[in-house]
Amino acid sequence: MAGSFSRGRRYVLLLVLLCCFGVVLFRLFTLQVLQAAELSVKAHRQHQKTVSLEGARGTIIDRHGKLLAMNVEVRSVFGVPNALANPLKIAQQLSPILHVKTDELERKLRQNRSFVWLARKLDPEQGQQLDRLSLDGIGVVMEGRRFYPKGSLLAHVLGFSGMDGEGLEGVEHRYESYLRGEKQMMVLQRDALGRTVFPKGMAERSPTPGQSLTLTIDEVIQYIAERELEDAVGRSQAKSGTMIVLDPKMGAVLAMAVSPRFDPNAVSALGPDRWRNRALTDAYEPGSTMKAMMAAAAIEERVVRPNTMVFGEHGHMTVANTVIHDHERLGWVSFAQVIQKSSNIGAAKTGMALGEQRLYRYLQAFGFGQRTEIDLPGEGAGLVRNPRDWGRRSVASISIGQEIGVTPLQMVSAIAAIANGGVLMKPYVVSEIRDPDGHILRQIPPQVKRRVISPETARSVTRILEGVITDGTGTKAAIRGFRVAGKTGTAQKIDPRTGTYSVSRFIGSFTGYVPADNPQLAMIVVIDEPQGDAWGGAVAAPVFSRVGEQVLSYLGVPSNAPVTLAMAPRKS
């Protein structure tokens, strides 16, 4: 009886052992076979972190190779919350260096994660302070940070890039696919103590940098334009200002200045209104600068000649139950004098003789109401309504620069077409794209859009516009030793409260080209809401003169000024 009981106990024990052994075998089978893939991934998550890094963005240089945008290697700091014993203490140590609140850092460091970014792309001084701390569980990787060595110079054209290296505005955004470096996934290894172990040879496997851009912009011309524009806006206490300098024969943008300026190295505290490129986004009523294009259309269509006599109605004319005024009480004057003295009545009469269909056709031909297709983002099309939507006064109004919205870029492109013998060019800012080794991948040539007027008409209009400088409203645009052709403009802004023209808010502008007999520069200056004397001839024309004089000298363009020789007196 005792023997059988003993044998029973042995059977039970054996059965228990077999069951335990089966459970262990089953558990091993589950871990090593059924859950192998899942557990492997989990292990990798605990000991590895994949971080996406990008190659350096391509550089941006001016037409002479001057550096405008580049990448610098800076530190980015991360934490490993799972490896930290005292997150609060570490957060307190990092806070004054990273300029991040302690509670925010602590919240990140207490997350149940193996990797968390604490701060990206630190200033060099911050990186040095961080290195001196040498904290366990805190690591650093090097990343490229966009840097603009000229500060605010050309900021509205260059734009800027974001924290992740993506171009957000300007050339940086428009050419993002070229400038962006190759992405590389970097695996950060961690040992059992939570220390970062970087993969062997990681430095040799750095991602490929992006392609580089050469601009049509000339850094010196840009500096001159920005300085003079900023000075004019400040002296006139204006709201803002814009200036564009073009090569009229090529369409290449030599300078594009906007005031007020901003520093693309520090845009986090600024809003879109500050970095918006008003030169190509903001439409305005051009006022009398439109008379140059109306004159070109009328002469091309043989409606008038420069010596055609026009009666000025002594400064007062009724059109569609409204009154058009002139600032001078003119009688009979030649059509050339209509433009030179900026007669609204003479221009309105000429426009009405031209007719709405022909006027509309030439507005389109000069590029108004459509984008110039410049290689920059955010360009506006302006506003040119279809003739079927025009009122009884519209032809007269458009002829004097009202009931139409243009951008500064459209206007300077149109005046450049006259300077270029009647041929409209496509404006552009990037001339070359190069690979990281400096080899040219693509060259962007000048592009003709269309012929607008004949060379004969262009020469005729040029002579008229020269008279604006010598005997008309644009005398302050004169440049000693050079023949200048151009047109002033003063436009009332619409009062948003009343929907009518304001009596106190104006836009003063001047557009023209020089030398008139062989144009090298086409320029426009727009001053928004100047205080005091708001006439374009007073606030914008002098800027044209000062910039033109300096740029012509810089380019070495010979003047027509007579040479005076200093002769030593003869000895008797």
Closest CA relative to residue 155, chosen from 272, 271, 263, 268: 263
Rounded alpha-carbon distances, angstroms, from residue 434 to 2, 169, 211, 417:
97, 21, 6, 30
Half-sphere exposure of 373 (CA within 13 A, CB side): 8
User: Which residue in 240, 288, 343, 399 is the catalytic one?
Assistant: 288
Rounded alpha-carbon distances, angstroms, from residue 100 to 80, 88, 93, 118, 271:
17, 13, 11, 9, 22
Length of the chain (residues): 572
| Residues 6+ away with beta carbon under 8 Å from 275 | 155, 156, 159, 160, 169, 262, 264, 267
3-state secondary structure 74-100: EEEEEECHHHCCCHHHHHHHHHHHHCC
Residue 234 corresponds to which tokens in the numbers above?
Answer: 């400040």
Beta strand spans in 495-548 (E):
501-514, 521-528
Active site residue 212: no
Closest CA relative to residue 401, chosen from 287, 494, 311: 287
Closest CA relative to residue 223, chosen from 159, 150, 149, 146: 150
C-alpha 481, offset from chain centre: 34
Which residue type, as a one-letter code, is found at position 344?
A: N
| Residues 6+ away with beta carbon under 8 Å from 201 | none
Active site residues per annotation:
288
